[in-house]
Structure 1
Amino acid sequence: MVVEYLIIGQGISGTWLSYHLQKANKSFIVIDNDQPNSASRIAAGIINPVTGRRIVKTWMIDELLTFLVPAYEELGNELGIKAIEKKSLIDFHPTPQMKIAFDERVKENTDLLFHPKDQRQYQNIFNYDFGFGKVDPCYIVNLKEILPAWRKKLLSNNQLLEEDFETPELKQTDAGISYKNIKAEKIIFCDGIQSSQNPLFKNLPFALNKGEALLIEAPDIPSTHIFKKGMMLTSIQKDLFWIGSNYLWEFSDDQPTEQFRKQTELLLRSWLKMPFKIVDHKASVRPANIERRPFVGFHPTYKNIGILNGMGTKGCSLAPFFAKQLTDNLTNKDQILSEADISRFSKILMR
């Protein structure tokens, strides 16, 4: 089998790269074994344009939103699903200091941050002592439908191999690479945390962290907004909500922990005035990195071996944009944004 590109992984990065290559009429094969607890499959798909205790805009968010909203809408139309939904975020202030900080930021970001006049609006549903602000717009990406729908399309086109990638089977050739019976010009790793163990990319400054989430049944909570008080609470289907997530930098496995379940249940009981029932507990390890900038591009020595990775918690906003940049680099030799291009790590990758 001869193709132009071999893509390893069909999470959010591999999905978008294969989608853009398909649109560019390029041939490819994706290898992915559909790990149920991969970061893309556990995430709620929240795109929040502000971040941190200082409540500042996330990196490149204006440019990203301009690109990604129509991109998701186009993908959804092709798959026959609603791929993205606009929602506002109701941010309940946990302390008086955070309320003051939010109010100050409202003056600087009048296009994103708002201070609703009716601060009693949610008192029948939530306990909160210090009011709330609103972030608008935010978005929910429908990962639970996008990933399987695109997977089904790849399978129907004979563009997906459902198996584990076996690194020893990868060989360099004069024309590119070979893998078992596949010959390709280039291979691109979109395999999340697995790339941190890849001999060619393990020197990249990955900073893996573990996150957990609970799924709860709560029929009396409105699904019209994302709610936040320490953690995010968002509807993922009728009467079913996702609440998460945490960041564990030291962990021994990718399994859910009793500590998170207990802490989150305590938070819910102190926050919600409505009944709820915990129905599932999920965990995964994110392919984050020290710089909080993605890894995009090709190895400085092995120029037919590339990567699209390191998205951390921002995969839903970063992956569509940088998958397109990588596609344009492959097809037109367009430059990859310097802050994302792995050429910035050439010295450590050549060790």
Structure 2
Amino acid sequence: MEIDFLLIGHGLAGTALAYRLKQAGKKIRVIDQPEANNSSRIAAGLFNPVTGRKMVKTWKADALFPVIVPFYKELERITGSKFLTEKAIYRPFLSIEEQNEWMGHSADPDFEVYLKQIYSESQSEFLRDPFGGVMLRNSGWLNIRNLLDAMSSYFEEELILEKFDESLFSREDACWSYKDLKAKAVVYCNGLGAMNSRFFSFLPFAPVKGEILEVKQKFTPDYIVNRGVFRVHLGKGIHRVGSTYTKHDLDVGVTNAAQTEILEKLTDLVRLPVEEIISHKTGIRPATRDRKPFLGKHPTEEGVYIFNGFGAKGVSLIPYFSGIMATHLLNEKAIDSEVGIARYFNYI
């Protein structure tokens, strides 16, 4: 069978890019690796325009955020499923100085589109926010598991449920041959699996382990709380809380240390006790050394590409960059050097 594109990996990155290529009329196949550690399926799913301990506008926010909601709503429309929740994010201030700094941001047109309101007083007796906080808009969360399940049905016969065996992958004439497929191009969207590829092992992945909890706890505001940990209400008094971040312990199992860390940070944020721990999950994120994703064509192998390395911010990054990558694949448009893998060709 002759196809245009073979995509390796059916996480959020592979799904988004496959959708854009299919919409462009291209014949595709997507190989899913169901037993692999799939960081997409356990990810928190937040999209948040202000991030980090210093509460700064996230990298490329003005390009990324206008695309996020329309893209996921389009996927909801074509699948008939619901997985996007637009929700304000409340970030408490840690000091008067921080409060004053954000009062200044309120007059800054660069921040206007992301600021819903700034508060100088606590917003709930259940929160530890004596200095108030900032309420953000253009934010929310994505149920990635529901999205991937819905898109699996959408792709139907285009989705191949099996482990990808790169040893069966060879160049024949102007195509790449894999079992009964002949593809004009192949795109590695398989997260950390690309680290072991003969094509992309030179790229400086920097895997990061993250753990999250789902807990039962009272206090269900109509916003996400995010400082130290995020707290997202899933319904029926159950909240997703997390996450940890470590580059050292990359074992796939959950840890007591991470559970303790999350619960302690939750206590610093919410005054109420946790009634029950519903679940504890972990995943290894395909982060990169410079925290920028990997997009582009292999320097010597014709028709071999990568779309990968989105780390913890995949929900925010992938709608925009899947459009950039699709344009590159379809029209050979150059990729910005900030995310193009050419920045690492000296490592080969």
TM-score calculated relative to the size of structure 2: 0.92
Aligned partners of 1:203 and 1:236: how far apart in 2?
Answer: 40
Q: CA deviation at 1:59?
A: 1.7
Shift of 1:91: 0.9
1:164-183 paired onto structure 2 within 5 Å: 164-183=163-182
1:46-125 matched pairs, under 5 angstroms: 46-95=46-95, 98-108=98-108, 109-113=111-115, 116-117=118-119, 119-123=121-125, 125=126
Partner of 1:189: 188
The superposition leaves residues 209-249 of structure 1 with CA deviations (integer Å, 9 ceiling, x where unpaired) of: 11110011235422x21102311111234432111112101
Q: Show CA shifts across 1:288-310 (max 9, x none).
A: 11222111111010021111001
Pairwise CA RMSD of aligned residues? 2.1
Residues 1:146 and 2:147 are matched in the alignment = yes
CA contact (8 A) 1:94 1:230 kept: no
Equivalent residues of 1:208, 1:287 under 8 A apart: yes
- The CA distance in 2 between the partners of 1:58 and 1:309, in whole Å, is 19
Q: 2:279 maps to what in 1?
A: 280
- Matched residues in 2 for 1:174 and 1:198: separation? 22
1:248-282 Cα shifts (integer Å, max 9, x gaps): 01014121110011122233345333453210001
- 3-state DSSP of counterpart to 1:133: strand
1:156-210 alpha-carbon deviations (Å, 9 max, x no partner)? 3x11111111111111122221112211111100001111222211111211111
- 2 CA distance for matches of 1:344 and 1:252? 26
Tell me which of 245, 248, 251 is aligned to 2:246.
Answer: 248
1:20-61 deviation per Cα after TM superposition (whole angstroms, max 9, x unaligned): 011011111111123475211111211111222332211211
Match of 1:231 in 2: 229
Counterpart residue number, 1:210? 209
How many angstroms does 1:133 deviate by?
2.1
8 Å contact kept, 2:99–2:120: no
Q: Unmatched 5+ residue regions in structure 1?
A: none
The aligned amino acid for 2:229 is M
Q: Give 3-state SS (helix, strand or coil) of 1:201's partner.
A: coil
Cα 1:72–1:265 change in 2 (3 A) is same
Work out whether residues 37 and 284 of structure 1, in 8 Å CA contact, stay in contact via their aligned partners in 2: yes
- 8 Å Cα contact 1:44/1:236 also seen in 2: no
Post-superposition Cα deviations, 1:71-114, rounded to whole Å, max 9, x if no partner, equal 11111111112342221111123455544554454454343246
- 1:205, 1:106 → 2: CA distance? 38
CA–CA distance in structure 2, aligned partners of residues 93 and 132 of structure 1: 5
| 1:311 counterpart = 2:310 | yes
Corresponding residue of 1:131: 132
Moved more, 273-282 or 13-22: 273-282
Distance in 1 (CA, whole Å) between partners of 2:37 and 2:100 is 38
Hey, what's the Cα distance between the residues in 2 that align with 1:190 and 1:48? 23
Given that residues 177 and 183 in structure 2 are in contact (C-alpha distance below 8 angstroms), is that contact kept between their aligned partners in structure 1? yes
Confirm or deny: 8 A CA contact 1:28 1:159 kept in the other structure.
Answer: yes
SS of residue paired to 1:188? strand
8 Å CA contact 2:20, 2:323 repeated in 1: yes
Select between 260-269 and 14-23 the one with higher mean Cα deviation.
Answer: 260-269
Looking at structure 1, the residues matched to 92 and 292 of structure 2 have their Cα atoms a distance apart, in angstroms, of 29
TM-score after normalising by structure 1: 0.91
Matched residue, 2:4: 4
| In structure 1, C-alpha distance between the alignment counterparts of 2:158 and 2:239, rounded to whole Å | 34
* Inter-partner Cα distance in structure 1 for 2:75 and 2:268: 40
- Cα deviation per residue 1:310-345 (whole Å; 9 max; x = unaligned)? 111111121122222222222222232232221222
SS at match of 1:120: coil
Using the alignment, how far apart are the partners of 1:273 and 1:246 within structure 2?
20
Say if 2:296 is the partner of 1:301: no
> Are the structure 2 counterparts of residues 216 and 330 from structure 1 closer, same or farther at C-alpha, using a change threshold of 3 Å?
same
Q: Aligned residue for 1:43? A: 43
Given that 1:226 and 1:234 are in contact with CA atoms closer than 8 Å, whether structure 2 keeps it comes out as yes
Identity percentage of aligned residues: 32
Number of aligned positions between the proteins: 345
Change (3 A) 1:330 1:271: closer
Structure 2: gaps spanning 5 or more residues: none
Q: Secondary structure at the match of 2:215?
A: strand
